[in-house]
Every structure is written in C-alpha cells, then in structure tokens.
Amino acid sequence: MATKRTAQQQSSDPAAQEMLIRAEELGIGTAFSRADEMAPCNIGGAGMCCKQCGMGPCRLTKEGQTGVCGATIDTIQARNLIRAIAAGAAAHS
C-alpha cells in the first residue's frame, strides 16, 4: 500500500486542499484517497500488460514471451506509449 499523501501533496489549490481535509474528516473517499489505498500492479506499472484486444489482458513477465496476438514486451510497451501520446494529444486539441 502506498503512503498517504497530505492535502498539500495532493493539490496546490488552497480551496481543493480545504475540501480534501473536510472530506477526510467526514470519512468521504476521494480520488486521491482511493489512489493512495490502491496497490499498483508491478506488471502494468512496468508497461508489460496489454489490454488492446478482447483476448487479453496479456501480462508478460520475461523476455521471449509473447501475448495471444504474438506481441513481445517491446511491442506492447511501444503500443502503450503511442496510445498514451495519442490520448494526450486528443485531450488537448
């Protein structure tokens, strides 16, 4: 489990910080508190998890492994990077 971040670490906006503190006092979960409670996936965090098609998700853990479609770790990481770049570009256009 990740360490709990303070309201100042979660947001630089004073109003948001105030609301995060109030939410914690009332026991209301926020996106920040849920993210702090979630344990990250080591495979996905390393970019070795492929969710591009309905046959997966494929989780590759060692060199030489391939997903159902035949993609290697390098291919999956490249696909994930390109999708993230495209999503970021689309969100800012």
Tokens read off for 3? 């360490």
Q: Are residues 27 and 47 in the same domain?
A: no
Burial label, 48 (beta-carbon count in 10 A; 0-12, 13-18, 19+): buried
Tens-place pLDDT, residues 8-42: 999 999 999 999 999 999 999 999 998 888 887 88
Note whether 81 and 63 are same-domain residues: yes
User: Residue 70 sits in which domain range?
Assistant: 43-91
Q: Is residue 2 part of a domain?
A: no
User: In terms of domains, do 31 and 47 share one?
Assistant: no
Q: How many domains does the chain have?
A: 2
Tell me which residue has tokens 């030489």: 64
pLDDT tens-digit map of 46-87: 888 888 888 878 888 888 899 999 999 999 999 999 999 999
Tell me whether residue 1 is in a domain.
no
Judge whether 13 lies within some domain: yes
DSSP 53: S
